[in-house]
């Protein structure tokens, strides 16, 4: 039982490059989330998807896009990376109980 | 608006000491309240939760009581172990939208043998 799987675990980007963070869950959860974690600021919600085919903005959506590809997968895309997007990104899914992935550490130089 | 304030860390304790990590919140109505724990290099794990006033959440020796009158949800444990060393996050989920979680900034706990 893998739970929530995020890829990649680490990534270094140059300013202006694009990339997609992948997330998949095997628990048949309807709701999925993307958070970023910055020192001293806890987790902040970027986007969420309450069910397949729907997405909504969270607290800090600027500079990001998401796709709920199917019930299992929820990807986060940075179209033009900026140093301010250096962070640790967590994907989570929820249906009663909640599970988090182990995170993606992204550095934008 | 919605927000969560936690005591700043790090908190350093000796094994078997009593632990309190303070958490207060601001919210519209009566939110659900949560404590999460994050071990090094891992994602967050739900530790305990409470969904209404005066509820007590408990798990693995940790407890927290939902206090509406003081808008607090302090985390306590009677006797900490080295294995409890981690970062602890308090969070709330508003009554009107359970998909929107608001997290505190986290409190790092170091337990020394």
User: For A55-108, how does the pLDDT look when each residue is reduced to its tens digit (9 = 90+)?
Assistant: 999 989 999 999 998 999 999 999 999 999 999 999 999 887 678 999 999 999
Q: What is the CA radius of gyration of chain A?
A: 13
- Rounded to a whole number of angstroms, the distance from the CA of B65 to the nearest CA of chain A is 20
Confidence check: pLDDT of B15 > 60? yes
Report residue A1's pLDDT band, with 50, 70 and 90 as the boundaries: low
Overall residue count recorded for chain A in this entry:
109
Can you give the pLDDT at residue B99?
76
- Please, which residues have CB within 8 angstroms of residue A52's CB and are 6 or more apart in sequence? A30, A68, A70, A71
Torsion sign, CA atoms A30, A36, A41, A44: negative
Can you give the pLDDT at residue A105?
95
Phi, psi dihedral angles at B82 (to 5 degrees) = -55, -35
At CA A70, angle to CA A66 and CA A75, rounded to 5? 25
Interface test mutation site (partner A, options B4, B6, B44, max chain A beta carbons within 10 A) = B44
Helix (H) or strand (E) holding B5, with range, is strand B3-6
Question: Is residue A25 within 8 Å of residue A85, measured between CB atoms?
Answer: no
Is B43's CB within 8 Å of A31's CB? no
């Amino acid at each position: 039982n893998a739970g929530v799987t995020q890829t990649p675990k680490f990534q270094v980007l140059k300013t202006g490059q694009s990339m997609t963070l992948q997330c998949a869950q095997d628990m048949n959860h309807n709701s999925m989330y993307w958070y970023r974690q910055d020192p001293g600021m806890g987790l902040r919600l970027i986007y969420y998807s309450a069910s397949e085919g729907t997405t909504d903005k969270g607290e800090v959506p600027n500079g990001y896009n998401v796709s709920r590809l199917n019930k299992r997968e929820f990807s986060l895309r940075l179209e033009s990376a900026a140093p301010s997007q250096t962070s640790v990104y967590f994907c989570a899914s929820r249906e009663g109980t909640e599970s988090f992935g182990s995170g993606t550490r992204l550095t934008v130089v | 608006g919605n927000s969560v304030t936690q005591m700043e860390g790090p908190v350093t304790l000796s094994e078997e000491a009593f632990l309190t990590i303070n958490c207060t919140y601001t919210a519209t109505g009566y939110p659900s309240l949560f404590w999460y724990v994050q071990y090094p290099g891992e994602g967050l794990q739900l530790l305990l939760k409470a969904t209404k006033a005066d509820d007590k959440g408990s798990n693995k020796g940790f407890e927290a009581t939902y206090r509406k009158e003081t808008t607090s949800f302090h985390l306590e444990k009677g006797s900490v172990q080295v294995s409890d060393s981690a970062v602890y996050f308090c969070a709330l989920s508003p009554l009107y939208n359970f998909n929107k979680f608001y997290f505190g900034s986290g409190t790092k706990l170091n337990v020394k043998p």
